[in-house]
Structure 1
Amino acid sequence: MSVRTRTSAALTAGVLTALLVAGCGQDDDPSVATPSAPATSAAPPSAATTAPASASPTPSASTPAVDREIIVKIVKRRVDPPTGRITVDKGKLVRITVTSDVSDELHVHGYDLGARLPAGTPGSVEFRADKTGLFEVETHETELVLFQLVVR
């Protein structure tokens, strides 16, 4: 690889990193924690909740076991289950799956994770909840707060 190619690749990586760190610009809220390390592999099941949410204790054969699966549906700008707080223990593997009736993008603040949400097709993010704090989970286009994730 030439010096010019390496320099160009490094510059591109730096710009992409800066864009990802900048996120959507709504992480100025002091109740939202800072970005964390990348997601890691599965761990044994168990988790706590303080708001209604769907949970699936049996993972599919094609995906690793998660400690907590949170499933949200959006129809006509209504969030189901209704917006609230969901608590998980620090260190647990979390999967958030969202299905929306319109195309959108899922975003987990503080962890800087996102997923495309094609209309009618589930989109998921999976990560290790390794930072304590309160993190908003929202959609970008429709600007809906789906829930607040509390990691303790």
Structure 2
Amino acid sequence: MFVRTPAARTGATLASAALAALLLSGCGQDDDPSVATPSAVPTSAASSSAATAPTPTATGTPSAAASTPAVDQQITVTIAKRRVDPPTGRVTVSKGELVRITVTSDVADELHVHGYDLGARLPAGTPGSVEFRADKTGLFEVETHETELVLFQLVVR
């Protein structure tokens, strides 16, 4: 007959919990959230009778359907031949709004949002995005690091 002591049961319980935590953590993204890598828009699979969970997508996808919460402010910028479109100016958002900034550059670069210390890689010709809750009030520059272009100033009120 096999008898477990309370200490052995506690050890087995802790080992089971640690194993479960390791397995669950493998399902999430372990990338640094401050530098998002753009990803392709997912394609829909053929319909089947079996129910499947939706595949999580990075905030790098420009598709609005890819994010769970509704974005309050979508800001889109294009850079071509060192020209920013729309031209550099100020964009005002309200404190608490969910903001998504999507940038497409003709050269590889990195997007950076000052004050929030967020960034995204910008492969040439591929949109890169950052998405965040505007929870700090003030005036924040949004720029590229390599080409040092100011894209716009974000005003959070």
Give me the TM-score of the superposition, normalised by structure 1. 0.61
| 1:149 aligned partner, one-letter code | L
Match of residue 150 from structure 2: 145
Match 2:103 to one of 93, 98, 101: 98
Quote the offset at 1:63 in angstroms.
Answer: 1.5
Separation in structure 2 between the aligned mates of residue 62 and residue 119 of structure 1, nearest angstrom: 22
Quote the offset at 1:60 in angstroms.
Answer: 2.6
Residue 151 of structure 2 is aligned to residue 108 of structure 1: no
Separation in structure 1 between the aligned mates of residue 65 and residue 75 of structure 2, nearest angstrom: 18
Q: CA RMSD in A?
A: 1.6
| 1:115 aligned partner, one-letter code | A
Match of residue 65 from structure 2: 61
* C-alpha distance after superposition, 1:3-43 (max 9, x if no partner): xxxxxxxxxxxxxxxxx8xxxxxxxxxxxxxxxxxxxxxxx
Larger radius of gyration: 2
Structure 2 spans left out of the alignment, 5+ residues: 1-33, 35-62
Match of residue 35 from structure 1: none
Number of aligned residues: 96
Deviation beyond 6 Å, 4+ runs, structure 1: none
Residue 131 of structure 2 is aligned to residue 126 of structure 1: yes
* C-alpha distance after superposition, 1:69-94 (max 9, x if no partner): 00000000000000000000000000
Structure 1 spans left out of the alignment, 5+ residues: 1-19, 21-58
Match 2:85 to one of 80, 86, 92: 80
Separation in structure 2 between the aligned mates of residue 114 and residue 121 of structure 1, nearest angstrom: 15
